[in-house]
Amino acid sequence: MEFKSKLGLSGEKIAEARKLASEITEPVQEFIDTHTTVTVERATLRLLGADGADADGVPVPNIITAQAGDKLAGGIAAYYINALVKTGKTPEELNKAVAEEGLDITAIPLSDKEQIEAKAAEIVKQLAARIEKNVDFRNKKLAASRGIHSPLIYVIVATGNIYEDVKQAQAAAEQGADVIAVIRTTAQSLLDYVPYGATTEGFGGTYATQENFRIMRAGLDETGDKIGRYVRLVNYCSGLCMPEIAAMGALERLDMMLNDSMYGVLFRDINMYRTFTDQSFSRMINAAADIIINTGEDNYLTTSDAVEKANTVLVSQLINERFAYNAGMPARLMGLGHAFEMNPEIKNGFLMEYAQAIMAREIFPEHPLKYMPPTKFMTGDIFKGYAMNTMFNFISKAAGQGIELLGMLTEAIHTPYLQDRYLAIENALYVHNAIADFANEIEFKKDGIMAKRAQQVLDEALAMLKDIKQKGLFTAIEQGDFADIKRPPEGGKGFDGVYEKAGNYWNPVEDWLKAKLGISCVK
């Protein structure tokens, strides 16, 4: 199909940019394929049935991987499954023995390989059935839903108490929200474990735990049945426990996950080798569970100028896209991110924001683009903020964005009140309805401000990709090419949790994921 652009973008340049992104990610992918991490192994344990925590709150997957030490290079799955075979225990009984009795499963002599593989096949079959059931349930509910908006209206809750979050989420859904995100408590991304059970205290958010996922999912399902519309649930699949949170989300039927290939490196100082390896495994899990990911390019514009560094957003989108394809994820699950973050004092800033959004839509036509609201330049003037959010809502609809995180009139002042969220939803619904068919009516001047702006950003992105291709992605990050933040390859948190796969490495969950997603296995 011939590429046609309202902005006059070159299809050849876009194709070249994608080719460069593929070449840039190739050596990183080679590293990913030959390495595992402590978090990948903990996620594998969770998917095989490991759960619970000891009296001190240390999760069972953490206890087991600590027992294994350097044995993780060969994969932890064999030890867990072997313990099930040798002891005759169920996963629940084995987890209890590890947490309460101090059982060291890595000290149990390994059974016959065929016995271990047969037990693994049985467990993985049960896992596949559970995830497939979640996907089928979601699809049936979506097919029967009425009044789902386009773009999807996405709002956040963040009280710190999961039970209060449910109340706020249910209220937002009844007011018209399609997507609810539960913000994680501050700095949870830096915890190298996932807390266990329901939580009622958090800082700027609520702990991401499997029980909290289950509680919120049940609450939204209850409201969804009441309003006749399936409400999607989101959490944050990033940080040191990225694959584990993906695993929990797949098990508890979350629908979207914030999941970026470089966010943890740049904004949380997590080691890049750890992050790149973790993002691959987490994206395989998300793809298998039909979970839409949201990438974090909007964050670049909070540390860099949105006009001068717009090209870095496009470059990151292309790199995120390539890593996601490598993980077996189709374009329909890639909610690539960008944001309405230019200084409102810039003349014709609205036109440049509009051009950026249209450009993203044209370059990524099959992707459910995640569009973020103005935050950097929001002030205590709630009336001006409301006007900025209205313009943002206009572009979201007019540029065909897929997922729109609504801005709040009290952004940057306090956690939004229920009425602030209501006003944000009311504003978006009004604007979206008022310009419902605007995108099909509008054309742009071939040599106008918007066309020139989009072409400039594409050219600058192409030049940046060529530069990164020459020096490599690790070096580009080290030199601060993204978000003006510099991170050394072997620095950051979690580097000691990266392992080169041994020749006998075995992971039945990874093998199942790759087979399901059509990814060639690299040993």
Other Cβ atoms within 10 Å of 303 Cβ, number: 14
Q: Take residue 508 and report the two structure tokens written for it.
A: 């039945």
3-state secondary structure 447-486: CCHHHHHHHHHHHHHHHHHHHHHHHCHHHHHHCCCCCCCC
Other Cβ atoms within 10 Å of 93 Cβ, number: 12
Is 44:123 a contact under the CB 8 Å cutoff? no
Is 293:334 a contact under the CB 8 Å cutoff? yes
Is 291:249 a contact under the CB 8 Å cutoff? yes
Greatest Cα-to-Cα distance within the chain, rounded to the nearest angstrom: 73
Q: How far apart are CA 7 and CA 71, in angstroms?
A: 55
298 is catalytic: yes
- Of 200, 188, 210, nearest to 164 by C-alpha is 200
Identity of the residue numbered 449: I
Residue 253's alpha-carbon distances to 52, 217, 483, in angstroms, are 19, 7, 33
Instruction: List all residues 6 or more positions away from 287 whose beta carbon is below 8 Å from its beta carbon.
Output: 324, 327, 328, 329, 330, 333, 513, 517
Query: Three-state SS for 343?
Result: coil
Angle CA 360–364–365, to nearest 5: 110
Identity of the residue numbered 112: D
Q: How far apart are CA 188 and CA 81, in angstroms?
A: 30
Is 50:509 a contact under the CB 8 Å cutoff? no
Catalytic residue from among 51, 260, 298, 481: 298
Sign (positive or negative) of CA dihedral 125, 129, 131, 132? positive
Angle CA 82–67–62, to nearest 5: 95
505 is catalytic: no
Catalytic residue from among 263, 273, 354, 371: 263
Sign (positive or negative) of CA dihedral 425, 426, 428, 432? positive
**Is residue 511 within a helix (H) or strand (E), and if so which, with residue range?**
helix 508-517
273 is catalytic: no
Q: Take residue 127 and report the two structure tokens written for it.
A: 């896992």
Which residues carry out catalysis?
263, 298, 370
